Amino acid sequence: MLISKKSKSSYNVFRPKKNDILKIAILSLLIDMIILYLFYKNIIICIITYPLCFLFVFRAYGKSKVAKRKRIFEGEFEEFLSCISSLLATGYSLENTIHESVKEMGLLYEKDTDIMREIAKMRHGLKMNIPVEKLFKDMAIEADIDDITTFAEMAAITKRSGGDLISIVKQTLEVIHGKREVYNEINTMIAAKKFENRILNLMPVIMLVFLSVFSVGYLDVLYNNPAGIGVMTIGLAIYAGSWVIGSRIMNIDSYSSRIKEKKIRDGKKDYSGDIKEDRIYRLFKKFGFKEKIDVLFHDLGRIYPSEKTRIISLIWWKDVCKNTLTGSAAGMLIIILCAVFNSENLPYIIMVSLVISFGIPYYYVGNIKKQIKKRDEQMIMDYPDCINRFILLLGTGINMRSAWERICADYRKKRSRGGGIHYVYEEMLYSAAEMKNGIPEAEAYERFGRRIKLLPYMKLSAMLGQNLKKGNRRMIEQLHLTSIDALVHRRETMKRLGEEASSKLLLPMMLQFILILLIVMYPAIRTL
């Protein structure tokens, strides 16, 4: 069964063995019997839902195995590059390093490991006179790992242009090693929280077993009747939700890929108007809120870089006004009905209506700030990859604009295959379009830094603009120093996200607490 849409990569495909099928079948049976039977105590439901449990466990198990295999292969490839780097330094060509690396790699890994099989395929391809850059490209397609794909592309460009291959290998090694260090640090930091989350997920099951064994008959009102089945179904939904939320919170290393492309425009609506003609906007302008609203509109343009700021601002403003007026009208109607039929609770109804009326625009404004924060965090974490790719392209001998356009073209391809939105590359696409429209290259880089408003990118834009205006022979060395600083910023950001994840675990913890209260209190209330 395919685990990824990228069918060209066998590393994205889970091919279960007999032991894997046995493990999945046993685990599915345990989940089906322990959870569903404890919640419903109906063997027929367990039999009916077992195929769904098997399918769910199969997909989850397959994804974990695929991720583990790719992570292991990335570490093996790092050792392979280290071996190639040492052989290149002694004077070997890239083709000869493939043959010579077998001895050193054979001391570290068994013959049935992925890296040894890939090396064997590359050696066979060299004997068939296949170019070495084509072999690395085939390995990258097979593995579907970004760093390997980048190295394969850089190796191909370097072979054609005669760039410094040794520096490219070393730079790629540093990038892979830095990523693995951050990954290991984050996993070490949140290991205890992951263990706590697993124990927390077992508590409702342990409680149900305890009550079923030591308090026989107490939970009978929860079974074999519509009300009890409904309560247990709600409890099972809360349990599943807390499990999913906890897993997503703990999955910090995939944070930058969580942001998907946002679609705010509806093709059926007409957005040809202008926000400045809106009466409510002019009313807010009179009361002195114009500057704050304009700042919000500017932030909307940063969140939706592929759309025109005027159109996005108009859509957002209309949604806020419509929902606020609807909420206020509903609140007024409830207040009138309460004044007629239940005047005793009128003050509470008025308070709730006011909270709703003012809460709707507050929610919209807070959501913008939240998305801006996510954007900035993603751009900080994407900066090392972006700058290192830029350094590698410059090291192949091409100029800055060509390297910039090459990064943009690669992002377009990746995004067309279903990849998430990455704001830094969206801004780079915007700058590339500016250069095509006649804006000078140095000015386009400066605008790039001013739009992002983050210190690393502002330094980068200033460095690129200065290089074009005055020239700088040590450009790559300076960029390399900024990449080291970027890795430090990324590590700090990831650590902070790890600390935030620890506090966010309060949400699934509260859901588990609500579930336990529901299961314990409902039978007690029914027996009164």
Per-residue pLDDT tens over the stretch 107-136: 888 888 888 988 888 888 888 888 888 888
Asked if 232 and 312 sit in the same domain, the reply is no
Least confident of 130-134, 200-204, 210-214, 276-280: 276-280
- Domain encompassing residue 395: 376-498
Other Cβ atoms closer than 10 A to 500: 12
In a domain, 508, yes or no: no
- Is residue 59 domain-shared with residue 157, that is, in the same domain? yes
> Residue 357: pLDDT band by 50, 70, 90 thresholds?
confident
Residue 381 falls inside a structural domain: yes
The secondary element (H helix, E strand) that includes residue 407 is: helix 400-416
C-beta neighbour count of 146 within 10 angstroms: 16
Residues 136 and 248 in one domain: yes
CA–CA gap between residue 418 and residue 257 (Å, rounded): 11
β-pair partners for 310:
none
Same-domain status, 62 and 126: yes
- Is residue 441 domain-shared with residue 390, that is, in the same domain? yes
Helix (H, G, I), strand (E, B) or coil at 224: coil
- In the numeric block, which tokens belong to residue 84? 């190639």
Burial grade of 49 (CB within 10 A; 0-12, 13-18, 19 or more): middle
Asked, for residue 517, whether it belongs to a domain, the answer is no
**pLDDT value at 253 more than 60:** no
**CA-to-CA distance for 290 and 356, rounded, in angstroms?**
23
Q: If you compute the radius of gyration of the chain from its CA atoms, what whole number of angstroms results?
A: 29
Residue 502 above 50 pLDDT? yes
pLDDT of residue 274: 53
pTM score, whole prediction: 0.70
What integer is the mean pLDDT of 180-191?
74
Q: How far apart are CA 18 and CA 110, in angstroms?
A: 22
Burial code of 437-466, b = ≥16 C-beta within 10 A, e = fewer? eeeebeebbbbbbebbebebbeebbebbbb
> Higher-confidence residue: 3 or 107?
107
Whether 3 is in a domain gets the answer no
Asked whether residue 185 is assigned to any structural domain, the reply reads yes
d(CA 177, CA 484): 12
pLDDT tens-digit map of 433-469: 888 888 888 888 888 888 888 888 888 888 888 777 7
- Same domain for 93 and 171, yes or no, is yes
Angstrom distance (rounded) from CA 446 to CA 458: 8
Residues 468, 320 share a domain: no
> What's the CA gap between 25 and 22, in Å, rounded?
5
Same domain, 327 and 388: no
Q: Which pLDDT belongs to residue 182? A: 72
Burial class (CB in 10 A: 0-12, 13-18, 19+), 525: exposed
The rounded distance, in Å, linking the Cα atoms of 495 and 75 is 22
With helix as H, strand as E and coil as C, how does 319-387 read? Answer: HHHHHHHHHHHHHHHHHHHHHHHCHHHHHHHHHHHHHHHHHHHHHHHHHHHHHHHHHHHHHHHHHHHHH
> How many domains does the chain fold into?
3
